[in-house]
Chains A and B, each alone.
Chain A
Amino acid sequence: MTEPHKVLDKEHIRRALLRIAHEILEKNKGHENLCIVGIRSRGVPLAERINQHIKQIEGEEIPLGILDITLYRDDLTLIAHQPVVHETLINFDLTDKKIILVDDVLFTGRTVRAALDALVDFGRPASIQLASLIDRGHRELPIRADYVGKNIPTSLDQNVKVILKEVDDKADQVIVVNRNQKENNE
């Protein structure tokens, strides 16, 4: 049995997010008309950090939104108890904006599908681009990321855990654990 395997540490994560911020600005030719939306829960601090990097580079923050996708999940009739719904906070008009959607791990693509449906209910954006700290493969829907922190090839019996100071109150890191293996950090 293998130990939980650390794939990214704090500094790796910082550099990956800084690079993503640069890539976003390069691809969109600056920060004009951009806004950033984090998917609860870990997409939110990641979106905030990317926004801070954008501010350092461009001297200005872009509007930031928080999206809870619970109400748009495709498995609500399959799971025994309904998940807790958290608040969605998007205090700006998305119409004709270029949206950067941020999540921690891109896996089956179902979360992103739900997020796309949710965003469209808020307006008609000019475009939606996807940024993900980790892409672990195994897509079940035709979805790809525009910005990836790190590609990590995994098997289906593994879990990728993104640990962030803001959410988990522990030092930033990304670990890969086998599903049947106890996590020694919990």
Chain B
Amino acid sequence: MSEWTKHDLLDLQGLSAAEIEMVLETAKSFREVSTRDVKKVPVLRGKTIVMLFFEPSTRTRVSFELAAKRLSADTLNISANSSSLSKGETVLDMAQNIEAMNVDLIITRHSSAGVPKVLSENLQASIVNAGDGCRAHPTQALLDMFTIQEKLGRIKGLKVGIIGDILHSRVARSNIIGLNKMGAEVTVCGPSTLMPIGIEAMGTKVNYDLEEVIQTSDVLMLLRLQKERQKDKFIPSIREYAKIFGINAEKLKHAKKDVLIMHPGPVNRGVELSADVADGKYSVILNQVTNGVAVRMAILYLLLGGKQQ
């Protein structure tokens, strides 16, 4: 694989294993740029990247912005509450107006699944999905796979347990798709009320026994309990959730010796992870954040480098 032909990054369903491999390989080269004194390379000089976020985000937005800036692209930020959306403009109208100012790439996040796809069908600019509803968050899955490969040297053949609120998690869905393509074996675990029906069809096992998942997994990926989405009483209480599905040092005693603890952030300390585990020796949560910049640089480079048709 030496030629990248994709114009957008909407989800991992749209990438082949070879393309995922190419992203991870390219990211490896970009990691070094962020360790220099001069953290900038001129490769996307003159390109304009717009971040169109309709949902709050700190980590992802900052990560994309740093990635774009370190490649010398110009960036600008538009968030929903300060934009003309509050005057009733539609998302597509707004995006078309932004594109009319000759931007090259739009990074978008929206609470509805499919918004990035609609934009990609109607705009010339490349679209990068930074999360759409509960559907997909491809760059998070890519940086998770990058971190696994960095720490364990491979992805193929590993057992990955994804634990928590699977129902509302776009991170889980993108990871299931991506890890499967890369040859890992995924098991999801969580309260049955937060387990989507038919999730097995995406290529994952379902196991409600957390202890067994902890014992057999090479990687444990914890998901944030999305408190803002618990209004419908999926779980009796956060305290009960933490007791049954939260991970602490005691439960980890039965884990494999070199298990990786991952979390897409932000961590609810004391809910899905106890503080000693979140900061403990198995945790690679901050590595994930560091790697996120490199992976996003790789995506922007691959989508924007080369001649525009």
Contact = CB atoms under 8 A, between A and B. Distances in A.
Contacts of A80: 306-307
Interface stretch (A1-9, A48-56, A70-78, A145-153): A70-78
B245 interface: no
Contact of B29 (A72, A82, A87, A118): A87
Contacts of B3: 81
A86 B4 contact: no
Contact of A82 (B28, B42, B306): B306
A84 B303 CA distance: 13
B280 interface: no
B30 A72 contact: no
A122 B43 contact: no
Contacts of B305: 76, 82
A82 B32 contact: no
A85 to B, nearest CB: 4
Interface stretch (B33-41, B111-119, B269-277): B33-41
29 contacts: A71-B33, A71-B42, A71-B43, A71-B71, A72-B41, A72-B42, A77-B306, A79-B306, A79-B307, A80-B306, A80-B307, A81-B3, A82-B302, A82-B305, A84-B22, A85-B26, A85-B29, A85-B301, A86-B29, A87-B29, A87-B32, A88-B29, A88-B32, A117-B42, A121-B38, A121-B40, A121-B41, A122-B38, A123-B37
Nearest to A78: B307
Contacts of B2: 84
B122 interface: no
Interface string B188-217: 000000000000000000000000000000
Interface residues of B, number: 27
Question: A72, A76, A85, A118 — which one has the most chain B CB atoms within 10 A of its CB?
Answer: A85
Contacts of A86: 29
Contacts of B41: 71-72, 118, 121
A86 B4 CA distance: 15
B5 interface: yes
A156 interface: no
A85 B44 CA distance: 14
A106 to B, nearest CB: 22
A85 B30 contact: yes
Contacts of B71: 71
Interface in B1-50: 2-5, 22, 25-26, 28-30, 32-33, 36-38, 40-43
Given A68-B29, A82-B4, A82-B301, A76 B306 contact: yes
B36 A121 contact: yes
A77 B45 CA distance: 10
Interface string A17-59: 0000000000000000000000000000000000000000000
